Structure 1
């Protein structure tokens, strides 16, 4: 059975191992693109969008790691 095209915010939270409220904030802030559907305005994130978001976060993290090298601590 193929994976669904659209994910609930709770599915996204489980995938990213974060809370539902964190995902809701990411969507509402525009950090994670989503659509609002139905009369009750339920949020959905397209699986491909989530995968792009994850790849972008890997790239951002790689830049951050490069710009913030780990240095050894001074002996105490």
Structure 2
């Protein structure tokens, strides 16, 4: 991975690139892929795994939100159920236009 920044990387990341971005070892990323938690594609039948950059960013955002909600729950200082659901204060999210 280039040390000058992730913007130089293309659309897809290797396991090593993703591991470096998250500061974990490659085995951790491999485990997330094999468990289905982190979407990835395999190049060929036995080739290397590739992780789409946007999927990794989505996964990071999801985990951050999950951590935030868990902390609120453990503190017991939440305002209402909307803090823990996909329901906004204006109403439920529309799934279809």
User: What TM-score, normalized to structure 2?
Assistant: 0.66
1:59 aligns with 2:65: yes
Equivalent pairs, count: 69
1:10 aligns with 2:27: no
Aligned equivalent of 1:33: 39
Runs of 4+ in 1 over 2 A off after TM superposition: 38-41
Cα distance, 1:40–1:32 mapped onto 2, change above 3 Å: same
Aligned equivalent of 2:53: 47
Structure 1, unpaired ranges of 5+? 70-76
Q: How far did 1:25 drift?
A: 0.3
Q: Which secondary structure does the structure 2 equivalent of 1:18 belong to?
A: coil
Q: Distance in 1 between matches of 2:62 and 2:45?
A: 32
User: What TM-score, normalized to structure 1?
Assistant: 0.83
